[in-house]
Structure 1
């Protein structure tokens, strides 16, 4: 029987025995909460054990996306070996397409299309939700795809990008961050955050970003696209110009 005490104990267990951070534990508990709500709707259980249980995200520990300057450094930095070079290519590809790690891993030739204007697109259902992502490709992602187009190992697998396991990717990204002097924790998911944040900063409408990210609605997109100081400064300058005497 799942009770308030069980949930509290599970939270403690995840953060101690499994050394799970607060935000990670909250995300897992949210999954359990959604299942509980599903069970209540189907009348499998009567009471909601989460009713009085408070879960709070630690906003001081939220991952900070890359700035344009940091992304430029990452793209152009000379790396010491092919292993890190391949990881950098995949990460930056995701930063400039908004693809999640698993979608980049499962990207195949049939997901690429060219429109009547000659623009290369990714049209791919997301692995997580099956919602279609529609991504027009910028020059750098096209360059990455071309770089690995004739890779024999990838051709054998039918894939387009040299994506390792998520664990290896995150470990290698830490090495790359140190080499590039980027004081942030680079992870596979940070690339998606970076894309959304930079798109917002450059004025892309939130509904367009949602289509690229493969979100069913813009509420999901707003989770990624935080308001940055660059946005605040730009909008304040608009007011300043309007009020100038």
Structure 2
């Protein structure tokens, strides 16, 4: 009885003898479920594409739904959870799951929580619940640590034989991103008209970034040129590559990771970081040039990669210090002269 009483207080803000009796006997309206309502909301967003929402917004909400669905169906027996069962422990568990089980960055976790809070606010407006169960909840907003592949890890990805066509394709596109710095959405939107040859015969990508709207100018090295040649003519509607939605590519990339026996999560965004750090900064490309190639609005954004590279130098120097400890030393006489 206490459970039904508390649920009605949570949902409606009040309880009556009749409503409590009906709840105990299983009479009355069906409980509103979180994933079911999320699907309804996504369907409405899809119908409004081009009117009040963009296709990219719909894709973002779809990704948020899929992430939440994996968590809920892995934790709750019916495969869904009622709105009136949501509390702080639910969102804390979900955030913990995203950080530990999926290895998502703090910024991504924050975005996923934001989608859920919007869904719950919508539920309040629709009268599904009387109040938001965690309106003030904010996940840990520690700065995102940008991660990239080492040369050994990139070599492993490039050198592993993959028998399945879809895995080989996604691996090659990941390598392409690692040598061009393109985000997945920009790979998806890359068109033949973005491929430019300058007066010296050098080939470039000139493309406006989807995220920022700024122009990126990227010179094409030998490896991405070979990948372009391999998939020449496979794209549709003027696109360079015939890519699926990111959720499909992400699942395939996870299979690639397993085949390559890598011990850390990889993503197309990691490929972009790999290009910025391992390929460019570590080989002497200046911050100013890198910023233009990445299509950053200001150089301070690019500076984060330089700081990350310096952090790696500090870590490597720490390891070096451990390795050479006690291997080199002054004589007692000379140490006094230093």
Indicate whether the TM-score tops 0.5.
yes
Q: 1:188 aligns with which of 265, 268, 282?
A: 268
Q: C-alpha displacement at 1:13, in angstroms?
A: 6.0
Partner-residue secondary structure (3-state), 1:157:
coil
Q: How big is each residue's C-alpha offset from its partner over 1:189-245, in whole Å with a ceiling of 9 and x where there is no partner?
A: 1111111111222221111111111001111113344125664569xx9xxxxxxx9
> Please, which of 177, 192, 200 is the counterpart of residue 94 of structure 1?
177
Query: Using the alignment, how far apart are the partners of 1:28 and 1:147 within structure 2?
Result: 36
Q: Is the 8 A contact 1:201 1:231 kept in 2?
A: no
- Gapped regions of structure 2 (runs ≥ 5): 1-85, 100-104, 116-134, 321-337
Q: Does 1:159 align with 2:239?
A: yes
Q: Which residue of 1 is the match for residue 142 of structure 2?
A: 57
**Does the C-alpha gap of structure 1 residues 230 and 64 become closer, same or farther in structure 2, counting only changes over 3 Å?**
closer
- Partner Cα distance (2:221, 2:237) in 1: 25
Where 1:129 maps in the other structure, the secondary structure is coil
SS where residue 160 of structure 1 aligns? coil
User: Which among 126, 137, 144 is matched to residue 220 of structure 2?
Assistant: 137
Residues 1-245 of structure 1 correspond to what in structure 2 (within 5 A)?
14-16=91-93, 20-21=98-99, 23=106, 24-27=108-111, 55-57=140-142, 62=145, 64-151=147-234, 154=235, 156-198=236-278, 199-225=280-306, 226-228=308-310, 231-232=313-314
Shift of 1:56: 2.9
Distance verdict in 2 for CA 1:11–1:123, change over 3 Å: farther
1:65 to 1:28, Cα distance in 2 relative to 1, 3 A: same
User: Taking CA–CA contacts closer than 8 Å with sequence separation of 6 or more, which of the two structures ends up with the larger relative contact order?
Assistant: 1
CA RMSD in angstroms comes to 3.2
Give SS of 1:103's match.
Answer: helix
TM-score, length of structure 2 as denominator length? 0.53
- Residue 17 to residue 73, structure 1, CA distance change in 2 (3 Å): closer
Deviation at 1:150, TM superposition (A): 2.6
8 A Cα contact 2:181 2:275, kept in partner: yes
Does the C-alpha gap of structure 1 residues 141 and 15 become closer, same or farther in structure 2, counting only changes over 3 Å?
Answer: farther
1:11-45 Cα distance to aligned partner (Å, 9 max, x none): 876544685447133356799xxxxxxxxxxxxxx
The structure that has the greater radius of gyration is: 2
Q: Which runs of 5+ in 1 are unaligned?
A: 1-8, 32-48, 238-244
> 1:128/1:146 Cα in 2 relative to 1: closer, same or farther (>3 Å)?
same
